[in-house]
Amino acid sequence: MNTTQRTALVTGGNRGLGAAIARALHDAGHRVIVTHTPGNTTIGQWQQAQATQGYTFAAYWVDVSDYESTQELARRIHADGHRIDILVNNAGITRDATLRKLDKAGWDAVLHTNLDSMFNVTKPFIDPMVERGWGRIVNISSINGSKGQFGQTNYSAAKAGVHGFTKALAQEVARKGVTVNTVSPGYLATEMVMAVREDMRQKIIDAIPVGRLGQPDEIAALVAFIASEAAAFMTGSNVAMNGGQHMY
Ligand code: NDP
C-alpha cells in the first residue's frame, strides 16, 4: 500500500484495537511505536510475543490524560532519534453510569483520558510534522460520539469532542501536508466490550444489522489506509465502521 516507510506512534497500542492498528501499520511497512500505561508490568512479555510473530514494536509508557507525562513521552521519543510521521490517538477508557449516578471522578477520568489526550499527545508532534510537510493523525472516536449512548454521557461527550478537535486541526494543517481524520468504530470484540455483561452484550449484537461485533483488524485496515500516501486528499473526515448500526 505504501511506498515510503514512516514511523507511527499508536497510543494504547499494546492491546485491543490499538494492537491491531500497530500490526496493520507494521504490515504496511512502517516502524511502529506503541504506548502503554505506566503501571503495565507485562509489556516486555507482550513485545516478545509480538516478536515471535514477526512484529517489532518499540514501547514507551505514558499517561495520556496527563499533559506533563505526554510531553515527557515526546522528549524520550525524540531523544531516541525517532520522528513521528503517523500518530494514532487510540488510548481510551469507559466509566459507564447514568448521569444521575455518575460521579465527578468518572466524568473527569473519561474526559481527561479520551479528550484531553487529543491535545496532550498531538501537541508535541504537530510542529515537526508541519515542518517536514507530511503527517497523518488518526483519532479514534466511537459510534457513541455520534449517536449518544445510555449510561455514557461522559464517553459520548468526549468522543463527540474528538471529532470537533479533528475538524478544527484538519483545517489548520491542511496546506502543510498533514491530514487529520477521525475513525468511529462500532462495537468491537475487544476487552472493553467483552467486559460487558453477557446479556447486555447480546443486546448490543442484536442492534447491529450485520449481526456480529466488529473485529479490531477491520478497523485497523481502515486506519492503515488513512495513514497511507494514497489518502492524501482525505482530511477532516469522520469515517464510520459499525456494521450498519448508525448510518450518517
Ligand atoms: P482496551 O480497553 O482494550 O485498551 C485500552 C488501551 O488504552 C490500553 O492499551 C490501555 O493501556 C490504554 N490506556 C488507557 N488509559 C490510558 C492512559 N491514561 N494513558 C495511556 N494509555 C491508556 O480498549 P479498546 O482497544 O477496546 O479501545 C481502543 C479505542 O477504541 C478507545 O479509544 C475506545 O474508546 C475506542 N473504541 C472502542 C470500541 C470497542 O468496541 N472496543 C468501539 C468504539 C471505539 P494499558 O493496557 O497499559 O492499560
The interface predicted TM-score (ipTM) is 0.99
Question: What's the CA-to-centroid distance between 186 and ligand 1, angstroms?
Answer: 14
Residue 23 burial (CB count, 10 A): 22
Q: Is 14 exposed, middle or buried (0-12, 13-18, 19+ CB in 10 A)?
A: buried
Q: What angle is formed at CA 10 by the lines to CA 82 and CA 2, rounded to 5 degrees? A: 75
Read off the pTM.
0.97
Question: What's the CA-to-centroid distance between 131 and ligand 1, angstroms?
Answer: 30
Could you give all domains of the chain from N- to C-terminal order, each with its CATH number?
A: 7-188+217-233 (3.40.50.720)
Our answer on whether the CB atom of 187 is closer than 6 Å to any ligand 1 atom is yes
Residue 193 binned pLDDT confidence (cut-offs 50, 70, 90):
confident
pLDDT digits (tens, 9 = 90+) for 72-126: 999 999 999 999 999 999 999 999 999 999 999 999 999 999 999 999 999 999 9
Show the cell assigned to 188.
468491537
Question: What's the CA-to-centroid distance between 92 and ligand 1, angstroms?
Answer: 4
First to last CA, the chain: 28
Our answer on whether the CB atom of 12 is closer than 6 Å to any ligand 1 atom is yes
Which residues belong to the active site? 155
Residue 2 binned pLDDT confidence (cut-offs 50, 70, 90):
very low
Question: What's the CA-to-centroid distance between 36 and ligand 1, angstroms?
Answer: 10
Mutate to test the pocket of ligand 1, among 155, 159, 190, 219 (most ligand atoms within 8 A of CB): 190
Query: What are φ and ψ of residue 207, in 5° steps?
Result: -90, 0
Residue 3 binned pLDDT confidence (cut-offs 50, 70, 90):
low
Q: What pLDDT is recorded for position 192?
A: 81
Show the cell assigned to 98.
447514568
Our answer on whether the CB atom of 145 is closer than 6 Å to any ligand 1 atom is no
- At 155, which helix (H) or strand (E)? helix 153-173
Rounded-to-integer distance, Cα 221 and Cα 146, Å = 22
- At 241, which helix (H) or strand (E)? strand 238-241
- pLDDT mean over 165-182: 98
The DSSP code for 134 is -
Question: What's the CA-to-centroid distance between 125 and ligand 1, angstroms?
Answer: 21
Q: Is the dihedral of CA 197, 199, 203, 209 positive or negative?
A: positive
Of 150, 143, 155, nearest in space to 98 by CA: 150
pLDDT at 136 over 90: yes
Residue 214 binned pLDDT confidence (cut-offs 50, 70, 90):
very high
Q: What pLDDT is recorded for position 248?
A: 85
Mutate to test the pocket of ligand 1, among 14, 15, 246 (most ligand atoms within 8 A of CB): 15
Residue keyed to cell 511497512: 29
- Point out the ligand 1 atom lying closest to the alpha carbon of residue 141: 44
Rounded-to-integer distance, Cα 44 and Cα 23, Å = 17
- Point out the ligand 1 atom lying closest to the alpha carbon of residue 12: 9
Do the Cβ atoms of 30 and 136 come closer than 8 Å? Answer: no
Pick the range with the lowest mean pLDDT from 2-11, 26-35, 52-61, 208-217: 2-11
Distance, C-alpha 79 to centroid of its chain: 24
Residues of the chain with pLDDT > 90, as a percent, come to 95
Our answer on whether the CB atom of 205 is closer than 6 Å to any ligand 1 atom is no
